A and B are shown apart, each in its own frame.
Chain A
Amino acid sequence: DVKVTQSSRYLVKRTGEKVFLECVQDMDHENMFWYRQDPGLGLRLIYFSYDVKMKEKGDIPEGYSVSREKKERFSLILESASTNQTSMYLCASSFPLLAGVKDNEQFFGPGTRLTVL
Chain B
Amino acid sequence: DQQVKQNSPSLSVQEGRISILNCDYTNSMFDYFLWYKKYPAEGPTFLISISSIKDKNEDGRFTVFLNKSAKHLSLHIVPSQPGDSAVYFCAASGANDYKLSFGAGTTVTVRA
Residues of A at the B interface (CB closer than 8 Å) are 4, 9, 31, 33, 35, 40-45, 48, 50, 58, 90, 92, 94, 96-97, 102-111
Do A31 and B2 touch across chains, with their CB atoms under 8 A apart? no
Indicate if the CB atoms of A90 and B51 lie closer than 8 Å: no
Beyond A40-B104, A48-B99, list 10 extra A-B contacts (CB 8 Å). Answer: A42-B89, A43-B89, A45-B99, A58-B99, A102-B51, A104-B32, A104-B93, A105-B46, A108-B36, A110-B43
Chain B nearest CB from A96 CB (Å) reads: 7
Q: What are 6 A-B pairs at a CB distance below 8 A?
A: A31-B98, A40-B9, A40-B104, A48-B99, A102-B31, A105-B49
Q: Which residue of chain A has the shortest Cβ distance to B45 in the bound complex?
A: A108
Let me know if B59 is at the binding interface, CB within 8 A: no
CA distance A41 to B6 in the complex (A): 10
Which B residues have a C-beta under 8 Å from some C-beta of A? 2, 4, 6, 9, 31-32, 34, 36, 41-46, 49, 51, 89, 91, 93, 95-100, 102-105
Q: Are B44 and A43 in contact (CB under 8 A)?
A: yes
A96 vs B45: C-alpha distance when bound (angstroms): 19
B58 to chain A: closest CB distance in Å? 17
Give CA–CA (A27, B42) in the complex, Å.
Answer: 19
